[in-house]
Amino acid sequence: MTPEGPEGPQDGPDVAETPEVPDAPEVPDAPEDPDAPGTPEGTADAEPEAEEPPKGPIRRAFERTKPLHGPTMLVGGVLWDFMTLRIDRLWDNLFLGVYLLGFALATVLQLRVHLATGMPGWLEKRIHWVHMGGQFLLGSLLSAYLIYYVRGAPLLRGALWLVVLATAATVNELLPRWLKLPELWVPLLTVLSFHYVLAAGPVITGSFIGSGLPLFVAMLLAAGVHTLSAVRWPGVTVDLSRVNRLLLGSTMGVGAVVFLELLAFRLDLIPPIPLTLMGSEVVPEEHDGYEAGFFGQAAARLGIAPTLVWTPGLRVRVKTPVYLPKAMSTRILHVWEHDDPEKGWVRTDAIPLAITGGRPEGFRTYSSKRHLSPGSWRVRVTTEDERELGRVRFDLEKAEVPAP
């Protein structure tokens, strides 16, 4: 039994050596993948993305200029409408309505991305193109209103807000992504819809409208955009605090727009479109007249007036062609005022004139006055409720030779 003793211990170590412990570290070497030798599985899965072909020069240029795509489309829309739009054509105004609805849809989709309320994946991948399309439509609408308001004489009053609006929209596009304010998108849409109804409504309906209908349509469209932006897509978890915070800020912006539009309407800061003063001419009898074109009207707004030689006892005639859409008619006023050294501008006459629409160059009408005195004069062209279309200013200088 003595020899069996050592055999027992010998068998013991033999059994201990049978698991072959050195084989254990060879387990990582077993998956010899020729595509990713010795790399973890997660790294191997990321290989297909790294194997994308290199971007071509056109694609690289597209990526580098991506921040400029929105402003470029904005300017493109402005130029497109400037070259093609006619404000007296019904179809052009209907197309502007389609532009407005398209911009509203683009606003809804971009707000849904910002609020993470969800949308189809194929559409979310193309949101950049949606944004560029929205900017083109925005530029087209801004250009349309610029044409409406700058076509006639009241340039400084009618177009100043538009320049500010277009500048704000462009600057907002050029800001870094984290500085952009989505709370401003719906208020901007409210401004556009208000002025669309105000400008296109008379052309479509054939009658003038006040501020009530444009404000109602603008607020209704803003409410629809807010609702469609906040509706949760099936299967998407929404941060309600984020949604409520943005919608609150946007709604406050819409309220501010409504207040400012009413104030501007009250203060006669919005021109009475579609009525447009196309130009003016001052004609003293038996003398050459002075014709005030676009720059002459702007000069009159700044207080710059031509000096006309005038013979006492003869009439001075002021001609003002006024544009009005086809199938419309209304009355305007020529309000004659004299600059008194002590009292300032004093009204002397308010002459009503009937006009009819349909002439691209404007309906030609005039008023005249005989009993005048030397000095500064102006004729304000207004609607019957005295909303000003423009003004004609001139200085009268007494002629040396009296009238026979």
- CATH number of the domain bearing residue 311: 2.70.50.30
Residues 138 and 243 both lie in one domain: yes
* pLDDT of the residue at 40: 45
Q: Is residue 8 part of a domain?
A: no
Q: Is residue 16 part of a domain?
A: no
Q: Is residue 351 part of a domain?
A: yes
Amino acid identity, position 333: L
Q: How confident is the model at residue 71 (pLDDT cuts 50, 70, 90)?
A: low
Which of 210, 242, 266 represents a domain boundary (last residue)? 266
Answer yes or no: is pLDDT of 338 > 90: yes
**In whole angstroms, what is the distance from residue 303 CA to residue 310 CA?**
20
* pLDDT of the residue at 215: 92
Residues 300 and 235 both lie in one domain: no
Residues 298 and 239 both lie in one domain: no
**In whole angstroms, what is the distance from residue 256 CA to residue 271 CA?**
20
* pLDDT of the residue at 26: 53
Give the other-Cβ count within 10 Å of 186's Cβ.
26
Provide the domain limits for residue 324.
276-398
Instruction: Give long-range contacts, CB 8 A cutoff, 24+ apart: 124-129.
Output: 128/66, 128/69
The mean pLDDT value of the chain amounts to: 75
Of all residues in the chain, what percent carry a pLDDT higher than 90?
18
Give the 3-state secondary structure of residue 352: strand
Residues 152 and 239 both lie in one domain: yes
Residues 323 and 207 both lie in one domain: no
Q: What distances in angstroms separate CA 66 from CA 61, 110, 112, one per listed residue?
A: 8, 16, 21
Query: Which range among 21-30, 40-49, 256-265, 308-317 shows the weakest confidence by mean pLDDT?
Result: 40-49
Which of 266, 301, 320 represents a domain boundary (last residue)? 266
Q: How confident is the model at residue 329 (pLDDT cuts 50, 70, 90)?
A: confident
Q: Is residue 31 part of a domain?
A: no
Residues 87 and 137 both lie in one domain: yes
* Residue 233 main-chain phi, psi, to 5 deg: -75, 140
Q: Token pair for residue 327? A: 């199938």
For range 282-293, the mean pLDDT: 56
Residues 147 and 286 both lie in one domain: no
Q: Where are the alpha helices (DSSP H) in 51-126?
A: 57-64, 69-84, 90-115, 121-124
Q: Is residue 175 part of a domain?
A: yes
Q: Are 331 and 384 in contact (CB under 8 A)?
A: yes
Residues 144 and 281 both lie in one domain: no
Taking the whole predicted model, whether its pTM rises above 0.85 is answered as no
Which of 211, 240, 266 represents a domain boundary (last residue)? 266
**In whole angstroms, what is the distance from residue 194 CA to residue 186 CA?**
12
Residues 303 and 171 both lie in one domain: no
Q: Is residue 147 part of a domain?
A: yes
Residues contacting 403, CB < 8 A, separation 6+: 311, 312, 313, 314
Residue-wise pLDDT tens digits, 176-200: 554 467 788 899 899 889 988 888 8
- Determine the distance from the C-alpha atom of residue 248 to the mean position of all C-alpha atoms in its chain, rounded to a whole number: 22
Amino acid identity, position 26: E
* pLDDT of the residue at 15: 47
Q: Which helix (H) or strand (E) holds 367?
A: strand 366-369
Residue-wise pLDDT tens digits, 124-139: 888 888 888 888 888 7
**In whole angstroms, what is the distance from residue 17 CA to residue 352 CA?**
119
* pLDDT of the residue at 294: 42
Q: Are 279 and 359 in contact (CB under 8 A)?
A: no
Q: Is residue 173 part of a domain?
A: yes
Number of domains in the chain: 2
Tally DSSP H helices, then E strands, for the chain.
Answer: 13, 11
Q: Which helix (H) or strand (E) holds 255?
A: helix 240-266
Q: Is residue 280 part of a domain?
A: yes
Residues 76 and 209 both lie in one domain: yes
Residues 144 and 199 both lie in one domain: yes
Residues 241 and 287 both lie in one domain: no
N-to-C CA span, the chain: 165
**In whole angstroms, what is the distance from residue 202 CA to residue 197 CA?**
8
Q: How confident is the model at residue 327 (pLDDT cuts 50, 70, 90)?
A: confident
